[in-house]
Amino acid sequence: MSFEELKERQRIAWGAAPFEKIEGSIAVMHDDLVGRLAPQPGERWLDVGCGTGAVSMRAARAGAEVTGVDLSEVMVETASRRAREEGLAISYATGDAEELPCPDASFDVVSSSVAAMFAPDQAAAARELARAGRPAGRLGLTAWRPGSGVARTMQVAARFQPPPPEGVGNPFAWGTEEHVSALLGESFELEFHEGDAPQTGESGEALWEYFLSGVGPTRLLYDSLDPERREEYRRASVELYEQDRRGDEIYQSRPYLLTLGRRK
């Protein structure tokens, strides 16, 4: 499988379930990211991997002129509909973090919330984040930490998937200061913050059902397996969530790294 084939799979996978159903589970991260970037009226703002619009809509409510780009046309359609319903004039388009559809230095702010981290060619994504921002412009990224609940969930999923192409970057490396500094340190003055977007639920089973209902890659993988493997995948995921049981609820910690940058 080539990087392009992997991205084609990712494009289809992210559109395979209504992400807006579970978007609220990371609202604390969206608030943290947009709050720290402090949108100003009239600023040109690009949100990369905009999903169903959480970050772009927050920035637009504060008066920024926002563009949202995502690999998945299903995400773009949902984000457009939601922005329209709220009367927000946001421009959405399909596009790849590794090849952003914009001229050089065309944005005052570039953001990406747990999205650019999934681009297989991490050097290309980093180059594009730098290219899109104007000199002295701001950058804000979030990425799950290695070992976070989401990273562990994806390790379980990986047992049921074909291996990724050779040379694909580990998405969770974007959750470490060292890796982000190596990728972006030449183009940006960087500053790091740690946050947590914990997930709670009444049981492992309830959390499995919740994420299956809204995380496209989980839904698509589950649907692609034969009945026996499906059951194995379900059971392994429920067991993972149950490891985080605290009394009568599940409390899964989901730490993330928030990177702020100032374009040199």
Binding site for ligand SAM (CB under 6 A): 7, 10, 14, 23, 26, 49-51, 54-55, 70-72, 75, 96-98, 113-115, 118-119
Burial 13-42 (b: 16+ CB within 10 A, else e): bbbbbbbbebbebbeebbebbbebbebeee
d(CA 65, CA 219): 34
CB 30 to ligand SAM: min, Å? 6
Nearer to ligand SAM among residue 8 and residue 239 (C-beta): 8
| Closest CB to ligand SAM among residues 55, 59 | 55
- Kindly give, in sequence order, each residue whose CB lies less than 8 Å from that of residue 159, ignoring residues fewer than 6 positions away: 236
**Closest-CB residue for ligand SAM?**
51
Residue 54 or 258 having the CB closest to ligand SAM: 54
Q: Which amino acid is present at 184?
A: L
Residue 93 to residue 70: CA distance in whole angstroms:
7
Closest contact distance (angstroms) between CB of 251 and ligand SAM is: 21
The residue type found at 249 is E
Q: Hey, which bits of the chain come out as E strands?
A: 44-48, 65-70, 91-94, 107-113, 133-144, 188-196, 199-201, 245-246, 249-252, 255-263
Shortest CB 45 distance to ligand SAM, Å:
13
From the CB of 242, what's the least distance to ligand SAM, in Å?
23
* Residue closer to ligand SAM (CB basis): 3 or 233: 3
- First-to-final CA distance of the chain: 36
Q: Which is nearer to ligand SAM, 37 or 54 (CB)?
A: 54
Query: Shortest Cβ distance from residue 118 to ligand SAM (Å)?
Result: 4
